[in-house]
Amino acid sequence: MPTEPLIADVVVVGAGAIGSSSAFHLARAGLRVIMVEAFGGPAEGSTGRSFASIRGQWADPLNIELSWRSIQRYRDFAQDHGIDVGYRPSGYLLLVPEEAWADQLAAVTLQHAHGVPVELLDLATANRITPFAEAGLGGATWGPADGVVDPHLTASAFIRMARDRGATTLYRHRVTAIEGEADGSWTVTAGTRTLRGQYLVNAAGGWSGELAALAGLAVPVVHSRRNVYATAAGALPAPVPMTIDVGSGVFVRSEGSRLLFGRARPDQADGYDTSVDWPWMETVLELGVARFPWLADLPLDRGGCWAGTYEITPDHHGIVGADPAAPSWVNACGFSGHGLMQAPEVGRLVAEQIVEGEITSVDATALRLDRFATADASRHVGLVF
């Protein structure tokens, strides 16, 4: 027997970090929200497979603002909402090659102008935080408020707070059809249910392009696999904060008494694939040992390794705001490896877009979908973490 349609002001598709934060901010603004998710619970997409690291150390004003405001939300989460989302200011150390040092100094000046705590370190001081071989480095920077947050606790907390404000959650319901109505509203088929919303928020992560296509819209987001490798527990003599060798792109940090490490594979094929890339681990180890020679002595634990997918756009920046082709369709997707660290602020921007009709609290022009219509929106070819 057919069930009655579920009616809402906003249908949010996706229960990852971005969808859950959006659902909370929309429900807090007094809107009726339905969040629909294909998996059986929150954070089962990219969010739950992330490296969980957050940093205010960016080189452009918008990313600095989105990350730094979000870090402050994470820092104050327990105080503001009474829920611990696992924020640990374990720090972020960037080891910067000589040829990139001048640019890094300019980035730090910008970060300071936005209030981000970042310190310039000489190599001897940095070496006492994480030991490394110094060849070719110009200096290091340290973000003491950067660190980690728990992705599962974060998504669950936002959803709990959204539900406390009347939001409905629908798990194990994959959206398979979307109809745009003449009045701008959306009729959404998800499993056995029909949902109706005046607005739809596309927070479908790496599936955002496919979701948009159901409504005849074009959103350039695809999956791209990323691997996290792990040493055995117990072998690490001391904790290692998130440390990135900027030149090689290798990153390491400890989780408990394991070391986790990785590096993006430049020739990674697009597509949803969460199997671990074992041959690539050999390359990452080789690059990693060149900078962190002690890594060679740590026994690996294949059972502790995992892979997930980044939700990437052609320029590796997110897409936030109303779709120019359908103003009641709001994209919040494509964060290309930094969605967790910006989720608190992105959810707020989504609510701003829907409640006020535009994003005014920050200049989000660089996140508009229509930037890809211009000539310089070619695929990003630089190093990505």
Considering only 37, 245, 315, 352, the residue that binds ligand FAD (CB under 6 A) is 37
Tell me which stretch binds ligand FAD (CB under 6 A): 263-271, 287-295, 320-328, 338-346. 338-346
Shortest distance (Å) from residue 241 CB to ligand FAD: 13
Considering only 25, 226, 253, 263, the residue that binds ligand FAD (CB under 6 A) is 226
Q: Does 244 bind ligand FAD (CB under 6 A)?
A: no
Nearest by Cα to 188 from 172, 200, 170: 200
Shortest distance (Å) from residue 159 CB to ligand FAD: 12
Shortest distance (Å) from residue 139 CB to ligand FAD: 23
Tell me which stretch binds ligand FAD (CB under 6 A): 30-38, 81-89, 137-145, 280-288. 30-38
Considering only 8, 17, 95, 240, the residue that binds ligand FAD (CB under 6 A) is 17
Tell me which stretch binds ligand FAD (CB under 6 A): 12-20, 117-125, 265-273, 281-289. 12-20
How many of the chain's residues bind ligand FAD (CB under 6 A)?
41
Q: CB burial class (10 A; 0-12, 13-18, 19+) of residue 369?
A: buried
Applying the rule CB under 6 A, the residues between 176 and 215 that interact with ligand FAD are 203-207, 211
Q: Does 316 bind ligand FAD (CB under 6 A)?
A: no
Applying the rule CB under 6 A, the residues between 43 and 82 that interact with ligand FAD are 44-47, 49-53
Measured from the CB atom, the residue of 290 and 333 that comes closer to ligand FAD is 333
Tell me which stretch binds ligand FAD (CB under 6 A): 11-19, 56-64, 319-327, 372-380. 11-19
Considering only 6, 10, 12, 15, the residue that binds ligand FAD (CB under 6 A) is 15
Q: Does 171 bind ligand FAD (CB under 6 A)?
A: no
Considering only 12, 340, 354, 369, the residue that binds ligand FAD (CB under 6 A) is 340
Considering only 18, 35, 212, 369, the residue that binds ligand FAD (CB under 6 A) is 18
Measured from the CB atom, the residue of 165 and 226 that comes closer to ligand FAD is 226
Contact 125, 72 (CB under 8 A): no
Measured from the CB atom, the residue of 138 and 262 that comes closer to ligand FAD is 262
One-letter-per-residue 3-state SS of the chain: CCCCCEEEEEEEECCCHHHHHHHHHHHHCCCCEEEECCCCCCCCCCHHHCCCEECCCCCCHHHHHHHHHHHHHHHCHHHHHCCCCCCECCCEEEEEEHHHHHHHHHHHHHHHHCCCCCEEECHHHHHHHCCCCCCCEEEEEEECCCEECCHHHHHHHHHHHHHHCCCEEECCCCEEEEEECCCCCEEEEECCEEEEEEEEEECCHHHHHHHHHHCCCCCCCEEEEEEEEEECCCCCCCCCCEEEECCCCEEEEEECCEEEEECCCCCCCECCCCCCCHHHHHHHHHHHHHHCHHHHHCCECHHHCEEEEEEECCCCCCEEEEECCEEEEEEEECCCCCHHHHHHHHHHHHHHHHHHCCCCCCCCHHHCHHHHHCCCCCCCCCCCC
Q: Does 230 bind ligand FAD (CB under 6 A)?
A: no
Catalog residues that contact ligand FAD under the rule CB under 6 A.
Answer: 13-19, 36-39, 44-47, 49-53, 174-175, 203-207, 211, 226, 228, 308-311, 333, 335, 337-341
